[in-house]
Amino acid sequence: MDLVVEYNSLLNFINFGELGLMDNAYYPFDTYNLPYAICYRLWEVLGGTIAWLLNLLFPDNGVSRWLIGEGASTLFALILFMLVMFIVVFVCTLISLWMERKCLGRMMDRRGTMVGMKGFLQCVADGLKTFMKENTLPGKIDRMTYMWTVSLVIGVSVLVACMVPLSARWYVVDYDTGLLIIMAFFALAPFFILVSGWAQNNKYALIGGMRAAELMISYEVPMLIMIATTALLAGSFNIGDIVYAQNDTVWFFIPQIIGFITFFFCATAESERLPFDIAEAEAELVEGWQTEYAGMKWGLIMLADYFRGYVACAMVTIMYLGGWTLPFIGDGPIPEIVFLLKTWFVFFLMILIRAALARVRPDQILNIGWKVFMPLSVINLAVVLLLKVGGVF
C-alpha cells in the first residue's frame, strides 16, 4: 500500500494539469497524458541544466532562452516521450518473451532460460549475440527490396505496439477511430512479408511469403467483422470509449463469448504464432520468409514477432476484457499495471496453445478461416444485434 501512496505522490509532483501544462499553447494532446508530463518535467530539469551551463559561459545568450521556452520544451519533451513510449513497450515485450520461454519450459518439463534474473537476461544475451553477428547478404537478391521490406515489417510492428494505449492517461494518439487505425497498421506487415519473399531469391522464402498472404486472407475478414461488432456494442471505435463502455456495463467477453474465442484465435494467427505460423513453418520451409535474413536483421524480426504478439493480446484485452478497468473499482490507482497484467494473461493462453497444438496446414487454415471463423463471427454479430435491438445494451 505504501508503494501506491508513494506512486500517487510522485504523480502529484509531476501532474502538470494543475500546474497549467494543458494551458500551454503547444500542448500536443487533448487530455492529460502521463508519460508526456513525465518527459516534460524531465526536460525541464535537463534543458534547464544545459541552459544554465550555457548561460555561465555566454551570459544572457539566445540559445539558453530558447531552450527553456515553451516551444523548445515541448519539442524535446516529445522526443523524450517517443523514447519513453518505445522503452516501456520494449520492456513489456521482453517480459512476454521471457514469460513464454519460462512457461514453455515448465510445460515441456525442462528449465527454460537460465541466464540471470530467473532467465530474464537471456533476452539481453540473445540481443547481444545477434548484434555481434556478421551482416551477411545472400547473392543475387534485390537488395533494396530485401532491406526496405524487413525494415518496414519491423517498423510497422514497433509502431503499432507503441500505439496501443495502456490507460486513459497513457497513450500516443487518442483518435476516434483508434481501434481501426491499430488494426490497419497491424495488417500491413503481411504485404511486406509477401514482397520480401519475392526479393530474397530463395524458394522457401517465396513460399513463406505466399503463405503469409494466404494466412491473411483467411483471418482478416472475420477479425474485422468482430472489431465492427465490438464497436457496435460500445457505440464507438475510440479505445477509451470501448473500455469505459465495458466498465459501465459488463466486460464484452460475456455477451460476445463466441467473438472472444474466435478473435483470440484470429489474433494468434495475426501475430503468426503456433498453430498458425505457416509463413515460417520451420519443419518444411526452414524459416519461411525469414530464411535469408541473418544476424541483427533476424533478431529484430523475432522481436517484431513478439511486438505483434503483445499487440494481439492488448487488442483482446481492450475489446473483451475491459482494458485497464476493474469491476467495481473502475480505473483504480495504477490502471497501466492492470492493463499489462491482463495482456500477459492473454499471452499466457497463447503460450498454452503453443505448447499443446501442432501447426495446421495452409489449406486447413483457409478452411478454418472461411468455414469456422467467418460463420462464428457473423453469429456473434447477430447475437450483438439482437442484444442491441432488445435494449440490453
Partner 1 sequence: MSDSLVPVKEIEEKMETDKMWIIMGPQHPFSHGLWTLKIQVDGEIVTDAEPIVGYLHRGWEKEAENRIYPKIIPMADRLCYAASMTYTHLYCMTVEKALGIDIPEKAKYIRIVADEVCRINSHLMWLAAVGTDLGNLTVFLWAMREREYFLDLNVKLCGARMTTNYPRIGGVRNDVTELFDRDILRTVDRFEKAMWDIIALMDDSSIIVSRMKGVSYLTREQCANIGMTGPAMRGCGVDFDIRRDDPYDNYDKVDFEVPVLTEGDSYARYMIRIEEMFQSCDIIRQAVQKIRALGKNAPYRIKTPTKVPAGSAFMRMEDPRGESLMYLVSDGTDKPYRLKVRSPIFTNVSTSKVMCQGCRIADVPAILAQIDMCLGETDR
Q: Would you tell me which residues interact with partner 1 (CB under 8 A)?
A: 104, 107-110, 203-204, 207, 274-275, 277-278, 281-286, 355-364
**Considering the complex, what minimum distance in angstroms separates the CB of residue 328 from partner 1?**
39
**Considering the complex, what minimum distance in angstroms separates the CB of residue 288 from partner 1?**
11
In this structure, what C-alpha cell is assigned to residue 57?
559561459
194 or 285, CB closer to partner 1?
Answer: 285
**Considering the complex, what minimum distance in angstroms separates the CB of residue 213 from partner 1?**
12
d(CA 165, CA 339): 9
Give me the DSSP letters along 286-337.
TTGGGTT--THHHHHHHHHHHHHHHHHHHHHHHHHS-TT-BTTTBT-S-HHH
19 or 366, CB closer to partner 1?
Answer: 366
Kindly provide the b/e burial profile for residues 219-251, where b requires at least 16 CB atoms within 10 angstroms of the residue's own CB: bbbbbebbbbbbbebbebbbbbbbbbbbbeeeb
76 or 264, CB closer to partner 1?
Answer: 264
108 or 117, CB closer to partner 1?
Answer: 108
**Considering the complex, what minimum distance in angstroms separates the CB of residue 364 from partner 1?**
7
Q: What are phi and psi of 253, to 5 degrees?
A: -75, -15
**Considering the complex, what minimum distance in angstroms separates the CB of residue 5 from partner 1?**
45
In this structure, what C-alpha cell is assigned to residue 98?
521471457
Q: Are 319 and 179 in contact (CB under 8 A)?
A: yes
**Considering the complex, what minimum distance in angstroms separates the CB of residue 285 from partner 1?**
8
**Considering the complex, what minimum distance in angstroms separates the CB of residue 140 from partner 1?**
17
Give me the DSSP letters along 194-209.
HHHHHHTT-HHHHHHH
189 or 207, CB closer to partner 1?
Answer: 207
302 or 355, CB closer to partner 1?
Answer: 355
Give me the DSSP letters along 253-296.
TTTTHHHHHHHHHHHHHHTT-TTS-GGG-HHHHTTGGGTT--TH
d(CA 389, CA 393): 8
d(CA 131, CA 133): 6
In this structure, what C-alpha cell is assigned to residue 329?
473499482
**Considering the complex, what minimum distance in angstroms separates the CB of residue 98 from partner 1?**
17
Give me the DSSP letters along 148-165.
HHHHHHHHHHHHHHHHS-
